[in-house]
Amino acid sequence: MTPTRFTDLPNELVLIIWMHLTHAETIRSFSLIKSQRYNRLLQSYCYKTIDFYTTTLSTFQLCCTRFLDQFRFNVQILKLGHQDSFSQIRLFSHYCLSSSSLHDIFPQLHTIVLRNVHDSDANDVLPYLSTIPYLDQLTLHKCPLDKISLLLCEHLFSNSAQHRLKSCTMSHCDTKDGLFLGEPLPSSYRSHHSLIYLKIHVRNLATLKYLLMFLPNLTTLDVEVGTRVIKEAQELFPTSFNPCCNLTKLVMK
């Protein structure tokens, strides 16, 4: 009886095996096999979404260097930030963004997820914020929103007429703080008309008010306020204040 070679397995079985691997691990293990069939499977099932959340350092380094050109033109969703390390985003910038922008590396990218950014590494997110005009969805999870408030708002509200961002989720490292926006507001800020979903931690109600002033088409707002709401803060929102006439769902904590 002739033994079955792995390359003889049908696509259905190969995909079942791949379900037990991350996309990055699959790329490392199978992209060197000289087979058009495997190349097509990788393009269809692995190259579109790259998530490095549990990826080992050696696999991460190989994906950022040796294998990058094999999948970068297919990537639509990029998720950076390791579950146990704060340095992955900085390493990715070092390997991939030293001479090119993120949009140049991944021209089809429409979704970015950045996780576990340490307070001391707040400026590491800057190369990723510059891609906001090209994104449909942005997620910042456990990021020092208080330290990147100015940078983040600058990229969200300056020259925003051509933006296509529809969904934005931003959580702070510490739920007692969050994004801060205060007066005087920069004259370069413009209304962001494409954003319809926002989930965010904000420092205070004043920040929330200023955000709403620039998000006229928001339909869903899930907000957590870092400071305790007092009567004086409530007066920031008179009954006549209604900047988001399309808002249909509001969750406030």
Q: Is pLDDT at 172 greater than 90 in this prediction?
A: no
Q: What pLDDT does 27 receive?
A: 93
Output the pTM of the full model: 0.89
Residue 56 pLDDT class (50, 70, 90 cuts): very high
Nearest to residue 113, comparing CAs of 146, 87, 144, 135? 135
pLDDT higher for 121 or 89?
89
At 201-232, the pLDDT tens digits run 998 888 988 899 899 999 999 999 887 665 55
- For the chain, domains (ranges, CATH) are 47-252 (3.80.10)
Rounded distance, CA 137 to CA 166, Å?
A: 6
Q: Is pLDDT at 253 greater than 80 in this prediction?
A: yes
Name residues whose C-beta falls within 8 Å of residue 161's C-beta, 6 or more positions apart in sequence: 190, 193
Is the omega angle on the peptide bond into residue 133 within 30 degrees of 0, that is, cis? no
What percent of the chain lies above the pLDDT cut of 90? Answer: 50
Q: What pLDDT does 239 receive?
A: 66
